[in-house]
Amino acid sequence: MPCRMPSNTLRTRLLGAAAGLAVAAAPIASSAGDLVEGSDWLKRWDGVKLTLSSHTGPTTDAVKAVSAKFAELTGAEVEVIDESWTDLLSKHLADAAAGGGTYDILTWPYIWTGHYVEGGLVEDLNGWFAMADLADPRFDMEDIPEAVLEVYGRYRGSASPNPDGLWSVPYKFDVYLAQYRTDLYEQAGIVDADGRAKPPETWAELLDNAKVLKEKFPDMQPVVFPLAVDDPMVATFLPMIAAYGGAIPIPWYDGNLYPEFQNGPGQEAIAILQELTEYMPADVLDMDYDRVNAHMAQGLAAYALNWNAYLPVLLDSGSSQIHESVAFDGTPGGPAGRFSGLGGWQMGVSSQSANKEAAFQLLEWIAGRERGVDLALAGGSVARFSVANDPKVVEAFPYYPLLMDVLKGYAARGMDRSWAELQRTIGVGLNKILLGEDAMEGLVNTARQTFDQAERAGYTPAKTAARP
């Protein structure tokens, strides 16, 4: 008896403790698996903290608002960190190298994709979207233009661990568009059969228009492009080289990173750009996207190119002198057709996240079809047909349908690991040609530099041909 009593007591105590633990754990277990009330896919993530890393700007502001709703519904804590975009890649890489797992969702411009995919920073989302218990059944991938998914989601380079992988979904949709002053065009007689302002369909037509506008309005800049060294220079040259026959979607080099921009299309494109710069501000080689937008908003130019993310400023009566007369169009074309340059950002689930399932659901929540309109109205730039056709969105941002339309032909910058270096080299090379260096010599010298840089980065341009 004396021996059995303690045994019973111990068993009873152990059972009691186990039952207590089970009761205590029940809310956690059920909260992680329970669906949010009224939802057939969104789960509760009580006690989970998610961190999304992005850059400063209106899209991230809109994402913050949408994420707050996710936090409210699921019980997760969501922190959206926004900071200067220029330092973001090195921060993401440094965090990954340190094994920090600081971020659950990463966002990046597609030109950095090589680092994220080759470096193993993000998950292949194909498997995640196949999980019935986590996937949003109304996410609607078909609502996203295929061109956008190709550029913002895939990485098909030879160094890709899975060329058919889906590494990310669109975060911020950026297309290079034209903006023009209908009042000036009409006064200059550049009109269609109905007497309405007629924007140029080709770069040559734009040059002709510039001549007419200069004569009619000598104090006005007929054209202004972002041509500051590096990113703006290359982004502006992208639809031009494509229009003159550059390879699509990436006209800069082939699959082995053998340079191609020094060939015929590049030569023709730089020739017409040289002519066009005569009708641009004297300091156009110092003009980035912000300055071009300010120039347009101040009513100092008749025609400009810029990313769609900058256009709301032009429509805002408080900040734009041309809000009533500005209209939008695709970038001009050339003998090979009309192509729009794609920019933009994407987001993926960090491979080091401790809460990948919750992170994936947050990603779906932000990029899903049902939040698209809210995101766009809050200032986000959304790549969805349903958003572009929504009456409320079109009323607020009349250029949205154009964003989908111009995707019929698109061109992109590079995505490999060495692109930042190559882009700098190409940007400097093109800038120098516009400053007076011989075009042919400048293009070939730049091609040689990029060939060497690609080789040093571990790619194999020599497989295509010898150094240019």
Site for another protein, rule CB under 8 A: 86-87, 89-90, 93-94, 96-97, 115, 118-121, 228-230, 281-287, 291, 294-295, 298, 300, 417-418, 420-421, 424, 428, 431-432, 435, 449, 456, 458
Tell me which residue has tokens 């992005």: 54
* Least distance between another protein and beta carbon 394 (Å): 32
Which of 147, 305 has the CB closer to another protein?
Answer: 305
* Least distance between another protein and beta carbon 415 (Å): 14
Rounded to an integer, what distance in angstroms lies between the CA atom of residue 223 and that of residue 329? Answer: 14
Residue 232's nearest CA partner among 277, 270, 281, 284 is: 284
* Least distance between another protein and beta carbon 431 (Å): 4
Which of 137, 436 has the CB closer to another protein?
Answer: 436
* Least distance between another protein and beta carbon 115 (Å): 7
Strands (E), 278-338: 303-307, 326-330
* Least distance between another protein and beta carbon 89 (Å): 7
Read off the tokens for 74: 């699921």
307 in the Ramachandran plot: left (φ > 0), alpha (ψ -120 to 50) or beta? Answer: beta
Q: DSSP assignment of 401-456, as one string?
A: HHHHHGGGSEE----STTHHHHHHHHHHHHHHHHTT--HHHHHHHHHHHHHHHHHH
Which of 35, 98 has the CB closer to another protein?
Answer: 98
* Least distance between another protein and beta carbon 17 (Å): 44
Which of 208, 283 has the CB closer to another protein?
Answer: 283
Which of 261, 410 has the CB closer to another protein?
Answer: 261
Residue 171's nearest CA partner among 82, 77, 41, 238 is: 82
Which of 285, 367 has the CB closer to another protein?
Answer: 285
Which of 145, 157 has the CB closer to another protein?
Answer: 157
- Structural contact between residues 121 and 370, judged by C-beta atoms closer than 8 angstroms: no
11 in the Ramachandran plot: left (φ > 0), alpha (ψ -120 to 50) or beta? Answer: alpha
* Least distance between another protein and beta carbon 195 (Å): 31
Rounded to an integer, what distance in angstroms lies between the CA atom of residue 81 and that of residue 171? Answer: 14
Give, in order, the Cα–Cα distances in Å from 254 to each of 68, 166, 185, 276.
43, 22, 40, 28
Q: Is 467 helix (H, G, I), strand (E, B) or coil?
A: coil
* Least distance between another protein and beta carbon 135 (Å): 28
Rounded to an integer, what distance in angstroms lies between the CA atom of residue 215 and that of residue 220? Answer: 10
Which of 72, 87 has the CB closer to another protein?
Answer: 87
